[in-house]
């Protein structure tokens, strides 16, 4: 695999609809792309006092981001923003000042919700952070996925109704990552 992508899911829930969606979405990528889930559930709450002596979990997170060719964020929306666990991970890997793991990594943002606006507000908040972190982030197409009956087929793949749209999204993401690694 030529391109390794750090897959950051903003939910720790074992039955997470975002994790399930992420696993189906990455199957739409070409063989030259591989996606690896980045663990964020074992990070301590960020505390600047500990910044110069980070635990293994933080080092592992930063290494995973640094060694990736791009990042794919798949996040739920919590109270019209990103879950705290995701913000915590973003803060950890952005520090110490000047040593952010995120800088320059091309990013994609997507999410699923049982609510009608499909994580639109969370994604917008996330885009704000990624802009500050100097991550070139795919702007279009936007994808606000509403979790409905029939999103997946029996094998857990994206079903026909959404496949064309999400394949188009993935194709754009793939081209974006390649462009920023050229």
Q: What does the alpha-carbon distance between residue 30 and residue 166 come to, in Å, rounded to a whole number?
A: 13
Q: What does the alpha-carbon distance between residue 112 and residue 33 come to, in Å, rounded to a whole number?
A: 22
Q: Which is nearer to ligand FNR, 115 or 136 (CB)?
A: 115
Least distance CB 117 / ligand FNR (angstroms): 6
Least distance CB 75 / ligand FNR (angstroms): 8
Least distance CB 13 / ligand FNR (angstroms): 4
Q: In the chain, what is the straight-line distance between the N-terminal and C-terminal CA atoms, in Å?
A: 16
Residue whose Cβ sits closest to ligand FNR: 115
- Structure tokens belonging to residue 100: 């952010």
Binding residues for ligand FNR, rule: CB under 6 A, are 11, 13, 16-18, 76-80, 113-115
Peptide bond connecting 29 to the previous residue in cis, omega within 30 degrees of 0: no
Question: What are the φ/ψ torsions at residue 110 (nearest 5 degrees)?
Answer: -155, 160
Least distance CB 115 / ligand FNR (angstroms): 3
Q: What does the alpha-carbon distance between residue 163 and residue 28 come to, in Å, rounded to a whole number?
A: 9
The count of C-alpha atoms lying within 13 angstroms of the C-alpha of 73, restricted to the half-sphere facing its C-beta, is 32
């Amino acid at each position: 695999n030529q391109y390794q992508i750090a897959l950051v899911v903003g939910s720790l829930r074992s039955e997470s609809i975002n994790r399930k969606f992420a696993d189906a979405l990455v199957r739409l990528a070409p063989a030259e792309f591989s996606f690896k889930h980045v663990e964020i559930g074992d990070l301590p709450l960020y505390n600047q006092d500990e910044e110069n002596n980070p635990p293994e979990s933080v080092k592992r997170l930063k290494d995973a981001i640094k060694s990736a060719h791009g990042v794919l964020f798949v996040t739920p929306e919590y109270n019209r923003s990103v879950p705290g666990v995701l913000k915590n991970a973003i803060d950890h890997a952005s520090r110490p000042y000047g040593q952010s793991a995120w800088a320059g990594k091309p990013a994609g943002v997507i999410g699923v919700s049982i609510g009608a606006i499909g994580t639109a507000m969370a994604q917008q908040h996330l885009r704000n952070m990624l802009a500050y972190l100097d991550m070139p982030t795919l702007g279009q197409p936007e994808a606000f996925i509403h979790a409905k009956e029939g999103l997946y087929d029996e094998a857990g793949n994206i079903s026909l109704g959404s496949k064309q749209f999400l394949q188009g999204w993935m194709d754009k993401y793939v081209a974006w990552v390649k462009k920023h690694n050229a």
